[in-house]
Structures are given as structure tokens and as C-alpha cells.
Chains A and B, each alone.
Chain A
Amino acid sequence: MSGTIVRRANAEPRWLRVTLTVLGLGFLFFFLALPLVAVFAEAFAGGWGAYREALSHPEALSAIGLTIFIAVVVLPFNIAVGVAAAWAIAKFDFRGKSLLITLIDLPFAVSPVVVGLVFLLIFGAQGVFGPWLAEHDIKIVFALPGMIIVTLFITFPFVARELIPLMQAQGKDEEEAAVSLGASGWQMFFRVTLPNIKWGLLYGVILANARAMGEFGAVSVVSGHIRGETNTLPLYVEIIYNEYNAVGAFAAASVLALLALVTLVAKTLVEWKMRQETEMLDTALPPEKTE
């Protein structure tokens, strides 16, 4: 008898549970599952042949290549600054630390269009460095360098904000032990720190990569939309969609949707791996003394 009372205390009546589940899952169905299915349905609306033809178009191929190229250039910078920022913030105390953490979030808060405009104002023809760049025949906006710079801006926070809480939770005992046993700074980093943070780092890189390859607004402003030259895959999707080439647009979009799915799977696997390692650590350690 008392068992039923306790169970009721922590649970909604059956009708309410069913209602809430249907409401929540229905919302996710209409807003997540249906769009995802629609991308592929539209891409294959003209059959497999039309799909392959749309993707083997030279402009589509060059857009895919450019998208990958930008991500490959940008990610090492993200890793370097993300690890450096997390190291300083997680392992040391200094004044202005919380301000620094807030500033790291800044790129998330700024509209991508504003980001693009900012770099247009600096490197564009009428910008601060415009005349100097024109004199030396260097093109930054409406060219690849500008697209790389805005992508660096947009993706800046991902790695750092994954690593900061992780490294704070891990503390600094292991590194201090390594140093007092005579390890050099880089030995300590590669043998102790890096193995500890590898999954968190990978997690940040996966998120940064998805954003780098998918960024639209900021890249659109500084790209100049030169076909076959400064079109990333998202920009290419826009151009051919506006030309009423739905199959072409959704074929290109399906590649990006596939990237999103791979991102979600990789993210889930890394989360699982991280949880497993924390649990292993918990069971490996002797129970804490309660005195």
C-alpha cells in the first residue's frame, strides 16, 4: 500500500505522462525528424542519376573542396588557442579570469552578418587597410583569406569551452607530479595533459568543424559569391536554390546534412567514451575515507 503512494508522489498520472510524451516527441518529429527526412527526399526526387549528376557538377565539386580546405586550415588554429586558453584558465589563478571567459563566448553572441561586415570594414576597399592592400595587390575580402578569417572568428570558442570545465575538474595534481619528477613542460603536456583531455579536445574539434563547414552568414558577406572560386557548399546551396534548381540545391544540401549526421554520431560516441572513462576512474580509485 505505502509502495503505491511513494510511486505516485514522484510520478505524474498515466494520462499526463502519455500526453507529455506525445507532445514532446511530436514537437521533435515536426521540427527535427521531418526536416531531416525532407532533405534527402528532395535530393532524390529526381532519382539517383539526377542526384549523382547534380553532385558531380564542377561547381559543386569545387564548393565541396573549398569547404573542406577552409575547415582544414581553421581547425589547427582552434586547437592551439583552445588548448592555450583552457590551460591558462583551468590551471592558474589570475585577475580578470571571468572577464576572459566571457570574452571567449563573444563570437557566439555576435550575429554572423555583423561579423562579416566587421571584416569588410577593415579589409574592404574603403576599409582601414583597404588602400594599403590594394597598393600591394593583396586581396582579403571577396577572396579566400577573408573567408578563412571570418571562419576563425566564428569557430573560436568551441574548443576552449569544451576544455575549460574538463581541465578544471581534472585539477593539476597529475601535471604537478610530472613536473616534480623532472618532466619538461612539453613532456608533461604530451604525456600527461594531452592523454587526459583527448576526448574533450576531439569533442570541441567536432563541433568547430561542423560550424566551420556549415557557416553561411559571415562567409556570405565576405565571399563576393564568385562562382567556382569563393563558393563554399552552403553558399552554393543558396545560389542554385535561388535559380529554382531544387534537386541540385538539395543534393548539395544532403551532403551537408550527412555531415550533420556524422557530427551527431561522432559527438554521441565521444560523449559515451568520456562517460566510460570517468566511470573507470571512479571504480579504479579506492573509496574515500569518511573521517
Chain B
Amino acid sequence: MKRVLPGFGLSLGFTLVYLSLLILLPLSGLAFKASSLTFEQFWSVATGERALAAYRVTFGASLVAALINAFFGLVVAWVLVRYPFPGKRLVDSLVDLPFALPTAVAGITLATLYAGNGWIGRFLEPLGLQIAFTPLGIVVALTFIGLPFVVRTLQPVIEDIEPEVEEAAATLGASRLQTFWRVLLPGIFPALLTGFTLAFSRAVGEYGSVIFIAGNMPLISEITPLLIISKLEQYDVVGATALASVMLAISFVLLLAVNGLQWWAANRHHGKERVSL
């Protein structure tokens, strides 16, 4: 079939050249550099004590933050879609703040709020709860960063729920809790899982908002991106490369997971909504 519209070769060619030069070649440069290390070099850095501790902090805090976001994100999305309240549109717009606010600003602000003399810290510290400069601070920063993902993935799905489904469940004698648990939650679960994975994947690579509030103690509150930076500052390019290639591999896996989940969610709901990192 002859193509009627012009510009296919030009637009696709330009996109592929741009994508290759700016993204694909540089990233494969990292893989190439990593493959020039001996296995012992790579392994001793990638599984060193400090690296393992950094993975634990990074993935542990990201997991907790993504779980917090999954729960509160579901509540926020539900409230925003279903319940009327004054100032709703303002609140709805504000949800995107973490996407718009530079991470460094989020970092210094959260560190100030949760420090011992900060607006929030001064109430928590007497309770023996120290947040700033501990791993808990990392969780707070990552929760902020990941907040919009679950809300924005869930909103269109909750809007699309047909009222008949809930009515049918109620007619058949289900309580509201049963309806939610057995009818509504299975329907929105793929979207919830997608939002969770997006928030998790964003949190794993996050740097700017974390370093100000984390305290950055090696083995305790040092995240992997920061460890890469400190290797670089010590001119340890080999170490930085090894850690970065581990992070890059994990990013690929998470990207594929998100794609798979979105495909699953879309095929269940025929929705076209996609939320980006």
C-alpha cells in the first residue's frame, strides 16, 4: 500500500539518529566500559560491604516509600474522584508538585521540616522519633518524590468504574467492604501495581532530594547513587562504573516491568492512559 502522508522517512530517521546518538550509544558506552573490567574488579566493587549496604538502604527505603504511596495514593485518588469537597481542583493540581519542584528544593525543605528544630521534627523528636539524618529521612524524601505516580495512574481507572458493577454487588447482598475487596480492588489492582512500580523505580535512582535529609553515613544511610558520586570524587572510575552498570541493569528490568504491567492493565480496561516517570 502506498503511504499517502509524507515525512515517514524523515521523521523516523531523525528520531532514530537522535535517539542513538544521545541515548543508546552513550548507555552502551557504559556497558562497554564495564565489560573492560575484569570479573574480580567488577565483583569486588559490586558486592563490597559498602555497596551491599547501599543497595539495602536504596531498595529498602524505596520499597517502604512505594508502599506508603500505594496506600495513601489509593486513598487520595479515591477521595479526589468520588467525594466532593471545597478546593478540590486546587488539591488535584497540587498533586503534581513533586514533578514540578526541583529535587534539590524538596531535599533542603524536607531536611529543614524534619530536623529537630523544624516544624514537624520538633513534635516528633520528643517522642523519640528522629527522622532527618536517618534512614527514615530517606523514606520521607522518596515518599514525596513518588507521590504523584500512584494517584495519577489510579484516577482515570477509578473514574472508569461502571456504577452497575457496584450496584450488582450490593444487590447480591455484598457489604461495602466486600464490594471493595472482591469487586473494585481486583479491577484497579493492575493500575495500583503500575503506580507502585513507577514510584519504586523513580525512588531507586533518586539523588537530589535524598542527600540533604539522609545524613549520608556509609553503611547506614548512604544510597547507591551517592556511593557512585563519592567513588567519582575519589577518582575511582572503575568503582563508579561497576556500581552504575548494576543500577542501569536494574533500571532496564524495572522499565520492562512497568511496560508489562501497563500492557496488562490496558488489556483489561482498554484504557490508553499512561503515566510517566
A32-B97 in contact (CB<8A): yes
CB neighbours (8 Å) of B94 from chain A are 28, 32-33, 36, 264
- Among A31, A84, A175, A265, which residue has its beta carbon within 8 angstroms of that of B10? A84
Interface size on B, residues (CB 8 A): 94
The docked-state distance in angstroms from the alpha carbon of A100 to that of B159 is 30
Given that A28-B76, A113-B229, A128-B29 are known contacts, is A238 also in contact with B95, CB under 8 Å in the complex? no
Identify the stretch in A7-15, A51-59, A280-288 within 8 Å (CB) of chain B at 4 or more residues.
A7-15
A221-B277 in contact (CB<8A): no
B176-A13 in contact (CB<8A): yes
B112-A246 in contact (CB<8A): yes
Interface size on A, residues (CB 8 A): 106
The binding surface of chain A is classed by DSSP as helix
A200 within 8 A of B: no
- Nearest to B252 among chain A residues (CB) is A109
The docked-state distance in angstroms from the alpha carbon of A36 to that of B106 is 9
How many inter-chain contacts with C-beta < 8 Å in the A-B complex? 292
- Among B79, B109, B204, which residue has its beta carbon within 8 angstroms of that of A253? B109
A207-B112 in contact (CB<8A): no
B112-A42 in contact (CB<8A): yes
- Nearest to A268 among chain B residues (CB) is B93
Chain A interface residues toward B at CB < 8 A: 5-6, 8-13, 16-17, 20-21, 23-25, 27-28, 30-36, 38-39, 42, 80-81, 83-85, 87-88, 91-92, 94, 100, 102-114, 117-122, 126, 128, 149, 152-153, 156-158, 161, 165, 168-169, 172, 175-176, 179-180, 185, 188-189, 207, 210, 213-217, 220-221, 233-235, 237-238, 241, 246, 249-250, 253, 256-257, 259-261, 263-265, 267-268
Chain B interface residues toward A at CB < 8 A: 3-8, 10-12, 14-16, 18-19, 22-24, 26-27, 29-30, 33, 72, 75-76, 78-80, 82-83, 85, 89, 91, 93-106, 108-110, 112-113, 119-120, 143-144, 147, 163, 166-167, 169-171, 176, 201-202, 204-208, 212, 225-226, 228-229, 232, 237, 240-241, 244, 247-248, 251-252, 254-256, 258-259, 272, 274, 276-277
